[in-house]
Amino acid sequence: MTDDTLRSALVDYALRLGDTSLVLGHRLSEWCGHAPELEEDLALANMALDLVGHARMWLAFAGETEGKGRDEDRLAYHRDGFDYRNHLLVEQPNRDFGHTIARQFLHDAWSVGLYERLASSANPEVAGIAAKAVKEVRYHLRHSGEWVVRLGDGTEKSRAIMADAFDRLSRYTDEMFEADGVERTLTAAGIAPDPEELRAGWEARVDAVLAEATLSRPAIHGRQTGGRSGRHTEHLGHLLAEMQFLQRAYPGATW
């Protein structure tokens, strides 16, 4: 394995994690002022800030490792949709509060397992980012899990909304456990875990909460992947048009 191969894999991996956090953070920010209760409005805003913070760390690391002068702002605001490497799951629209919670929960159950493993990465910078992030994603998982139980074991309507949300979103979850050359390179170097090794823990976390919510994990129909290689749904383009507007309209603007 050459240094260039490892460096390229690290950049791609950091972009995948940074983009996933950034896009999900933006989705949560769309609830600001619109959540069903004031306390939840603040909780979602704080979680969005956590995710944007994770994105900044990963994108800054990607830019520094790449060595081409791109910082986290340029990576966030000056790439087109086909250059983004986020999971398809996180770009799915909010639809309603139940769908937002289901999307967050499926992501959180994965990110906890990933960051716990990355905290012992052979790369000290990766380990440092993960060690900080894992404290926050554990809270995110507890929060989203409690809402899954509250809504799933709530009224007939809330239960139906949650069942529909998991049915719609489960098709995007396999992407979290796919391995390609990037993961295989980093796994061989002891930097990142094999994604498939995260599946059993994710399933256990998801199934435990769904059982308490009197819901079940739906069978996956029509698996959809491709976000990590730049093949996205139409939803990402609309999201980026809003998120990147200021920097695109006034390139190089400073405050």
Radius of gyration of the chain (CA): 18
Q: What is the pLDDT of residue 13?
A: 98
* Domain residue ranges of the chain, discontinuous segments joined by +: 3-217+225-249
CATH number of 3-217+225-249: 1.20.1260.10
Q: What is the pLDDT of residue 254?
A: 74
Residue 255 pLDDT greater than 90, yes or no: no
Place of tokens 């944007």: 52
Query: How far apart (Å, rounded) are the C-alpha atoms in residues 171 and 183?
Result: 21
> How confident is the prediction for the chain on average, in pLDDT?
95
Q: What is the pLDDT of residue 221?
A: 76
For residues 47-75, give the mean pLDDT: 97
Q: What is the pLDDT of residue 1?
A: 59
Query: 116-170, pLDDT tens digit by residue?
Result: 999 999 999 999 999 999 999 999 999 999 999 999 999 999 999 999 999 999 9
Cα-based distances in Å from 2 to 6, 46, 235, 252: 6, 41, 37, 36
Q: What is the pLDDT of residue 220?
A: 81
Alpha helix segments (H runs only) across the chain: 3-29, 38-66, 72-77, 88-91, 97-118, 124-152, 156-169, 181-188, 199-212, 234-243, 245-249
Q: What is the pTM of this model?
A: 0.96
Query: 170-189, pLDDT tens digit by residue?
Result: 999 999 999 999 999 999 99
